[in-house]
Amino acid sequence: MVRERKLTARQSDSSDDDLGDDPTLEPTVEPKAVAGDPSGPGENDSVLRPRRIADMVGQREVMEVLQIAIDAAKKRKEPLGHILLDGPPGLGKTTFAVCIPRELGVKVDMASGPSLKAPKEIIPYLTNLEHGSVLFIDEIHRLPKPVEEFLYTAMEDFRIDIVLGEGVNARTLNLKLHPFTLIGATTRAGMLSSPLRDRFHIRQHLGYYNIDDLVEILGRNARKLNVELTKDAAQEISKRSRGTPRVANSRLLWVRDYAMSKGDGRINLEISHRALDMLGIDEIGLDRQDRRYLETLIRVFQGGPAGLEAIAHTMSVSSDTLEDEVEPFLLRSEFIVRTQRGRCATMKSYSLLKMQPPTRTPSLFDALDG
């Protein structure tokens, strides 16, 4: 039996509805938008999200590790050890966090790091946990330090110490918690303090998906959406999805809309080309925002080195968006490099944008030397 609840930071939702395996009941997971895409996942996110680990595609090594841990925990009849999942957005961290409790037959509460501003806001989550249930904290690297410190004893000894009153009258209340499993998700594993990181028993990194995996995901999702999708169209959408299932889903939803509006609703290669070209998504999956980033770096900052904040201010985009959603793919595709002195465009960026590179790239080499 799986129950999923969305709790506000201050108050726990005491609804005890049994969501079971009823596919019509939506997991209470906030859909996350894909930058620059008019057809974000929206409510379709919950329709497309796999419900079981076996329904998930790719990430085989992570899956194997988790399956073993789940299996052992079930056999021992003990709660699963705490799990930390890291990797760029849209690769399946939340999906794992939703599927794991289902495998275990326990309920899950979902919270997010930035919404837990003070220790008192995490207390309802901890005290409401049942034996063996799961607490999922998304963006765990954004937990304020006092909240993070509060988690140490909760994770290690399943207890919390609450200080009541002040000064000489202060008393410490020792509260025992039910043994539980914390699943933390982060896009920035490096920002996690080592005391917190060390308290996770299992740490897994989610990497980008290959084309075959994305084709498989798109095929399954086209069936869920009841739309006809040809193999070559699935391959084309996958190629333009930056190795990320969330992006692939978002592109699929947009192409589906386009096919319904401009065609007979069926998605073939030509419709996919037209739909994705219209959004400015190129053959390798770069969108307008990615190209604007590269243009800004080259035109305004002469190719760099430029600081993230400076680029973000010039583009009027938050530096978090750039660092989490734009830069990982540009770095991985070698369009930019990160140096101690800032970001630098590579020759690949100049040729992509058909811009004249400097005869030598002093900024890049100077930055690497410096």
> What is the set of active-site residues?
93-94, 138, 187, 246
**DSSP state letter for 323:** I
- What minimum distance in Å lies between the beta carbon of 324 and ligand ADP? 9
* Smaller CB separation from ligand ADP, 238 or 349: 238
**DSSP state letter for 326:** I
Residue in this structure with the two tokens 């037959």, named with its chain if needed? 105
- What minimum distance in Å lies between the beta carbon of 220 and ligand ADP? 7
Count of positions on this chain that bind ligand ADP (CB under 6 A): 21
Neighbours of 253 (CB within 10 A): 23
- What minimum distance in Å lies between the beta carbon of 370 and ligand ADP? 35
If one asks whether residue 93 binds ligand ADP (CB under 6 A), the answer comes out as: yes
Q: Which residues contact 86 (CB under 8 A, 6 or more apart)?
A: 93, 185, 186, 187, 188, 189, 203, 204, 205, 206
Neighbours of 313 (CB within 10 A): 12
If one asks whether residue 56 binds ligand ADP (CB under 6 A), the answer comes out as: yes
Q: Interface with ligand ADP by CB under 6 A: which range of 41-49, 158-166, 223-231, 300-308?
A: 41-49
If one asks whether residue 101 binds ligand ADP (CB under 6 A), the answer comes out as: no
If one asks whether residue 58 binds ligand ADP (CB under 6 A), the answer comes out as: yes
Q: What angle do CA 248, 332, 141 make, to 5 degrees?
A: 80
If one asks whether residue 79 binds ligand ADP (CB under 6 A), the answer comes out as: no
For the packed helices 245-262 and 211-224, what is the interaxial angle rounded to 10 degrees? 50
Contacts with ligand ADP, 220-259, as mask; x by CB under 6 A: -------------------------xx--x----------
The three-state secondary structure class of 143 is: coil
**DSSP state letter for 19:** -
In the chain, beta strands by DSSP E:
4-6, 83-86, 108-112, 134-138, 159-164, 171-176, 181-186, 202-205, 336-339, 342-345
If one asks whether residue 328 binds ligand ADP (CB under 6 A), the answer comes out as: no
If one asks whether residue 90 binds ligand ADP (CB under 6 A), the answer comes out as: yes
Contact positions with ligand ADP (CB under 6 A) in 149-208:
185
Q: Which residues contact 356 (CB under 8 A, 6 or more apart)?
A: 350
CA distance 197 to 368: 31
* Smaller CB separation from ligand ADP, 112 or 289: 112
Dihedral Cα 287, 288, 289, 294, nearest 10 deg: 100
CA distance 269 to 229: 9
Q: Interface with ligand ADP by CB under 6 A: which range of 51-59, 174-182, 223-231, 295-303?
A: 51-59
39, 95, 296, 363: residue in contact with ligand ADP (rule CB under 6 A): 95
H or E element, residue 350: helix 347-352
If one asks whether residue 89 binds ligand ADP (CB under 6 A), the answer comes out as: yes
CB 185 within 8 A of CB 136: yes
69, 73, 94, 285: residue in contact with ligand ADP (rule CB under 6 A): 94
69, 91, 104, 253: residue in contact with ligand ADP (rule CB under 6 A): 91
* Smaller CB separation from ligand ADP, 110 or 352: 110
If one asks whether residue 103 binds ligand ADP (CB under 6 A), the answer comes out as: no
45, 86, 121, 290: residue in contact with ligand ADP (rule CB under 6 A): 45
* Smaller CB separation from ligand ADP, 26 or 257: 26
27, 40, 50, 79: residue in contact with ligand ADP (rule CB under 6 A): 50
Closest C-alpha among 217, 186, 233 to residue 59:
217
Judged by the rule CB under 6 A, the positions of this chain that interact with ligand ADP are: 32, 45, 48-50, 56-59, 89-95, 185, 217, 245-246, 249
